[in-house]
Amino acid sequence: MTETASPPLSRLIRDTEGLLLPLTEMADDVAITRVEFGFDLPKAPTDSSAAPHTGPHTASPAEAAGRASLAGTVVLATEPVRSPAGLDAVLSAHAGAAALVVPPGTHSHLGDGVDLRGTTGEVPVLLERSPHVTWSEILVHLRQLTEGATSALAWPDVDDLSALAAVIAETTGASITIEDPTSRVLAHANLGDELDEIRRETILSGAIPDWRIAELEESGFLDTIRRSTDVVERPAEGTSPARSVIALRSEGELIGTIWAAYPAEVDPEPLREVLRDAARAALPVMLRTLRRSPFEKRIRREALGAILAGSADLGPSATLLSLPFSGSFCVLAFTEVAPDREPVLRFHLRAAFADAVLAHVSSAGAGPAGAGQSRAGSASIGPAGAVSAHAGAGRAAAGERVHLAALVQMSEPTSADQVRDHVIAALRRSLPKTETLCFGVGTPVDRLDAVHRSWTEAAYVVDAVQSSTEDDGGANDDDGEETASRKRSGTYGSQGAHGRIVGATIRDVAARVVGLQVADVLLSADDQSIGGGRVPVGQRGSADQRGPGGGVLAPAQALAAHDELHNGSLLETLRVYFATVGNSAEASRRLHVHTNSLRHRLGRIEEITGLSTAEPADRLWLELSVLAFDRS
């Protein structure tokens, strides 16, 4: 059975990272026994007859008893703190408590006037509540942590599942997989180079293969695990090694499993004992992993969003996400992936970069800094690895693009080219053959306050990669043509038995990025010009409106309106014509039309827009208009 135990204050502080901001240091790592609102506690008795004094205060017997009653207690003090004197009063009122959670903004009243010099066990540790969570949410979360704590026996104080899996593997000589109740892989550790086919497919896909789950269901093995309270054995089958499995339970609820695949030379009896102890050690970590409630994700999203957007005050975000101000950071931007594919991407990125974080982020299309305006997401960052998060619907509004951002903290300086190649190598076997995944790598930076520049660059690069991939006609099964395509676009990728992964750095697609930046500047200027600005598709007016009017977008908008009304392709014709640098023969070939038909279309474009591709100034306007329109 699971042995319950009171968690130490240090673990509680660690497990509330992102929700509570430590304001003072911890003197003693005391055991936490309860969590209470301050207004639910009896008033601490004081000796009102005592004369005022200026020397050190000596607690009366009644006050000492009151302090003793708060030992091991985390107190939620909900009253606003408006001054240093008010903070001092709150600390005095709850002297003896292990920790005191105070309202947002309390940190501004810390200073020399606040008495934080009390003796050990008298002055509680100050923790400031994040403004993005409520008192009720904090209370529920803290009580879940205290009730879900277990004794870890002689196990190391591991704080993530990957570390725990590594410890089990090193102790037993077995290959370990830790899974959630839906058979999704949360962590794994392999010993040696040999992997059986089932384990290889499980690790590559981030989950047990469907056919394997069906097989285990049919045999009744999974049902046995769900009902078990001890280690369950599955004998070796052909090339598949023997496996020992133990269920992780919290108050009877199945919250995960630990699987150990071991060769014939491993003695299963000691392995079973290790798994029993590991299950107790894993329980609090698993609870923290699985029971991340929406408010936790929300606060981490907003903290990362502030970093990606280049917030002037990064202190709270850096503290909440345990990020140093100096280090080696790099941001990756991926084209948006399907929801069912995201866990696999997260799994492999976490294996490639221990401190990676995935986040859906929408970036505005207009303005040079548009890509840095985080609107829709972020997630936790830290030693626990990559965590995915969705904000709202996870979709961008009109004029915005959604990217999957990954912030990577590297152990040593690494070039963008090295990061690009490492990502391709890590992900190339994880995609189905029919899928294409594009990503951009921002230039690595050595300070947290420069991360927003890496993110802005990565967002531009992935847009350039995606546009070049579309121009090249997507994946091609011919290796020679595929290599030539990548050479033309300046991108790097991998294709074969699995999906196509195409990535680039700013140096790889510099010309295309400049074009996108110019388009954003034009759009920003067009929005502020009289008669300019972006017009929704349904409001672009009649195709009979001749002349471009004002604004760089007007010619492309007029052609789009014509195409919509007449099911035409004049705008696409102009795109291809410019993409072939005015080569009529090549443009006709790509459009699958006769050159005479191309000339007729160019004539219609001149009639509708009033601009001729033969006139340099007109041609420039048309080309810029198409560039900005495609970016809008």
Please state, in angstroms and rounded to a whole number, the distance separating the CA atoms of residues 594 and 354: 55
Report which DSSP code applies to 438: E
Q: Residue 16's pLDDT is what?
A: 81
Radius of gyration, CA atoms only, the chain: 30
> Residue with structure tokens 């060769």?
263
Please state, in angstroms and rounded to a whole number, the distance separating the CA atoms of residues 135 and 137: 5
Contact criterion met (CB below 8 Å) for 514 and 631: no
What average pLDDT does this structure show over 69-75?
Answer: 88
Query: What pTM was computed for the model?
Result: 0.59
Which residue in 245, 248, 287, 278 sits closest to 262, CA to CA? 245
Q: Residue 55's pLDDT is what?
A: 46
By percentage, how much of the chain surpasses pLDDT 70?
Answer: 69
- Per-residue pLDDT tens digits for 549-568: 568 888 999 999 999 999 98
Which residue in 367, 314, 392, 378 sits closest to 527, CA to CA? 367
Please state, in angstroms and rounded to a whole number, the distance separating the CA atoms of residues 35 and 326: 36
Q: Residue 365's pLDDT is what?
A: 40
Q: Residue 426's pLDDT is what?
A: 79
Residue 191: phi and psi, rounded to 5, are -115, 130
Q: Residue 145's pLDDT is what?
A: 75
Q: Which residues of 194-203 are buried (b: 16+ CB within 10 A; e: fewer)?
A: ebbebbeebb
Residue 519 pLDDT class (50, 70, 90 cuts) = confident
What is the residue-wise DSSP string for 43-109? PPP--TTSPP-SS-----HHHHHHHHHTTTEEEE--SPP-SHHHHHHHHHHTTT-SEEEE-TTGGGG
CATH class for the domain made up of 161-290: alpha beta
What average pLDDT does this structure show over 381-397?
Answer: 33
- Per-residue pLDDT tens digits for 119-145: 445 788 999 988 777 888 888 878 877
- Higher-pLDDT residue of 194 and 517 is 517
Q: Which residues contact 203 (CB under 8 A, 6 or more apart)?
A: 177, 185, 188, 190, 195
Q: Residue 181's pLDDT is what?
A: 83
The amino acid that residue 3 corresponds to is E
Contact criterion met (CB below 8 Å) for 62 and 104: no
Q: Residue 54's pLDDT is what?
A: 46
Residue 494 pLDDT more than 80?
A: no
Residue 462 pLDDT class (50, 70, 90 cuts) = very high
The C-alpha torsion from 587 through 588 and 591 to 593, rounded to 10°, is 170
What average pLDDT does this structure show over 208-233?
Answer: 86
Element (H, E) at 200: helix 197-205
Please state, in angstroms and rounded to a whole number, the distance separating the CA atoms of residues 341 and 339: 5
Please state, in angstroms and rounded to a whole number, the distance separating the CA atoms of residues 290 and 234: 26
What average pLDDT does this structure show over 78-94?
Answer: 88
Give the residue ranges of DSSP H helices in 291-341.
Answer: 294-308, 315-320
Residue 34: phi and psi, rounded to 5, are -160, 160
What average pLDDT does this structure show over 367-387?
Answer: 32
> Half-sphere exposure (CA, 13 Å, Cβ side) for 259?
28
Please state, in angstroms and rounded to a whole number, the distance separating the CA atoms of residues 44 and 65: 9
Element (H, E) at 410: strand 400-410
Mutual orientation of helices 595-609 and 570-579 as an angle, nearest 10°? Answer: 110
The sign one gets for the Cα dihedral 165, 167, 169, 172 is negative
Which residue in 108, 73, 115 sits closest to 94, CA to CA? 73
Residue 253: phi and psi, rounded to 5, are -85, 130
What does the block give as tokens for 292?
């991340």
Q: Residue 117's pLDDT is what?
A: 45
Report which DSSP code applies to 31: B
What average pLDDT does this structure show over 268-283?
Answer: 86
Q: Which residues of 566-599 are buried (b: 16+ CB within 10 A; e: fewer)?
A: eebebbebbbbbbebeeeeeebbebbebeeeebe
Contact criterion met (CB below 8 Å) for 365 and 375: no
The amino acid that residue 377 corresponds to is G
CATH of domain 9-47+63-147: 3.50.30
Domain residue ranges in the chain: 9-47+63-147, 161-290, 294-511, 530-631
Q: Residue 315's pLDDT is what?
A: 75
Q: Residue 295's pLDDT is what?
A: 62
Q: Residue 9's pLDDT is what?
A: 87
Rounded (5°) CA angle 276-281-283: 95
Q: Residue 329's pLDDT is what?
A: 92
The listed range with the strongest mean pLDDT (18-27, 78-87, 211-220, 535-544) is 78-87
Domains 161-290 and 530-631 share a fold: no
> In the chain, what is the straight-line distance between the N-terminal and C-terminal CA atoms, in Å?
60
Residue 543: phi and psi, rounded to 5, are -70, -10
Which residue in 256, 253, 252, 244 sits closest to 281, CA to CA? 256
Q: Residue 539's pLDDT is what?
A: 46
Q: Residue 477's pLDDT is what?
A: 39
Query: Which residues are registered as beta bridge partners of 364?
Result: 400
Judge: domain 530-631, CATH 1.10.3470. no
The amino acid that residue 584 corresponds to is S
- Per-residue pLDDT tens digits for 396-421: 444 467 788 888 888 888 899 999 99
Q: What is the mean pLDDT of the chain?
A: 75
Please state, in angstroms and rounded to a whole number, the distance separating the CA atoms of residues 496 and 586: 29
Contact criterion met (CB below 8 Å) for 613 and 575: no
Residue 603 pLDDT class (50, 70, 90 cuts) = very high
The listed range with the strongest mean pLDDT (1-15, 81-95, 358-372, 519-533) is 81-95
Q: Which residues of 249-258 are buried (b: 16+ CB within 10 A; e: fewer)?
A: bbeeeebbbb
Please state, in angstroms and rounded to a whole number, the distance separating the CA atoms of residues 370 and 309: 9
Q: Residue 308's pLDDT is what?
A: 87
Interstrand relation of 125-129 and 326-335 (parallel, antiparallel or unpaired): unpaired
Q: Residue 74's pLDDT is what?
A: 93
